[in-house]
Amino acid sequence: MAHVELEADRVSVHMNPLDEILSLHGTLHIPYSNIRSVTTDPVPPAWFRGIRIGTNIPGVKVAGTFFTPAGMVFYDFHDPSRCLTFELAHQHYQCVIVQVDEDQDPATLASQITARLAS
């Protein structure tokens, strides 16, 4: 899981220490100017998400960088219904999909981020 922090000019995604190990990645910083869209659509199940650097145990944990035909995608989730999906431009990743902390609401975060994109 990740704690999503809305800063003045970017979204910061802080993963817990175990997820940093499983995904082989630390905190992600995404400038608002590089976010094309953010959604809360459930992540569809898949046995194969692409060649990976990280962890892929279907139904248990998906975390890390995945190389897909559409480009690089970063995943960090267990519960696909509690995820934020960022579609990005001009970033290392084409897409970032993270499960938010239990004390955060994905729909509220998506609305707040979308409002900042519009302004």
Domains detected in the chain? 2-118 (2.30.29)
The 3-state DSSP class for residue 47 equals coil
**pLDDT of res. 47:** 56
pTM score of the predicted model: 0.91
Question: pLDDT digit of tens for each residue in the chain (119 aa)?
Answer: 899 999 999 999 999 999 988 898 999 999 999 999 999 999 877 756 777 888 888 788 999 999 988 899 999 999 999 999 999 999 999 999 999 999 999 999 999 999 999 87
Q: Which of 46, 34, 40 is nearest to 9 (CA)?
A: 34
**pLDDT of res. 113:** 98
**pLDDT of res. 119:** 78
Residue 8: CB partners within 8 Å, gap ≥ 6? none
